[in-house]
Amino acid sequence: MKEIEKPYIILSAAMTIDGKIASRAGDPRLSDEEDWKEVHKLRAEIDAIMVGKGTIIKDNPKLHIKYHEHDGYYRIVVDSNLSIPIDSNVISFQPEIYPTIICTTENAPNEKIKMFEAKNVKIIKFGSGPQVDIVNLMPILYNEGIKSILLEGGGTLNWSFIRNNLIDEIRLTIAPWIIGGKEAVSLVEGEGFAKMVEGPRFKLIEVNNRDNYVVLKYKKRDR
């Protein structure tokens, strides 16, 4: 695959033993306070957090930092038609510390763009396909000064990054229970690869455990 100029991407998630990142009813509460503290520490070190539209609609996260000193960062939402609610926390909560960028497509209605811009949201409109072209979006974000991104899901957006071999590092918390359910969102959704050799490979670089939680760190490895 051709190398592109892109931000360093760290996939960060908490999942159950059986690989689910939320229950079938959308309950996302997997992390304990210690885990949140670690994730917030990681947030303090990057230029942007990125999430998919599904995560905004289901969880309405603030994507902020509670536990550490920091200088703020961008919150980036990937939303092909600009359909997240205008009163989402990523729009209204502390935009002066965490400015929000929505990456969308030519399909986004102009009146919606104006509504979000009126809230000081930066809109990056790119490509006319059904979904945001994340591969070609990467150099655009890089040239905006975003050199590192913490990708915080959900499963559908994670698949787009995995499919295009864009993940440099993974930080994964395994929470000590099993939730099951084919409707429960997994760490990586999408169609998946047919063969093991097709998927990107990672090298395990760190294993930590405490209170029944396990934290794994991986780095991208050449095939």
Place of tokens 């959900």: 154
Taking alpha carbons only, the member of 1, 26, 81, 50 closest to residue 149 is: 50
Tokens (6 digits) for 98? 């965490």
Give the H or E element holding residue 163.
Answer: helix 155-163
CB of 64 to ligand NAP, least distance (A): 15
Nearer to ligand NAP, 8 or 36 (CB): 36
CB of 159 to ligand NAP, least distance (A): 7
The secondary structure of 57-95 as a DSSP string is: HHH------SSS-----EEEEE-TT--S-TT-HHHHS-T
CB of 161 to ligand NAP, least distance (A): 8
Nearer to ligand NAP, 51 or 91 (CB): 51
CB of 118 to ligand NAP, least distance (A): 21
User: Who's near 157: CB < 8 A, 6+ residues apart?
Assistant: 50, 51, 52, 54, 55, 78, 151
Beta bridge mates, 175: 16
Nearer to ligand NAP, 71 or 89 (CB): 89
| SS3 category, 211 | coil
CB of 185 to ligand NAP, least distance (A): 4
Nearer to ligand NAP, 28 or 95 (CB): 28
Nearer to ligand NAP, 129 or 197 (CB): 129
Distances (CA, A) of 92 to 10, 95, 118, 217: 26, 6, 12, 33
Residues making contact with ligand NAP (CB under 6 A): 13-14, 21-22, 26, 28, 30, 51-55, 58-59, 78-81, 83, 131-132, 134, 152-157, 160, 185, 189
Ranges of beta strands (E only) in the chain are 8-16, 48-52, 74-78, 100-104, 122-125, 148-151, 169-175, 201-210, 213-221
CB of 79 to ligand NAP, least distance (A): 5
Nearer to ligand NAP, 145 or 181 (CB): 181
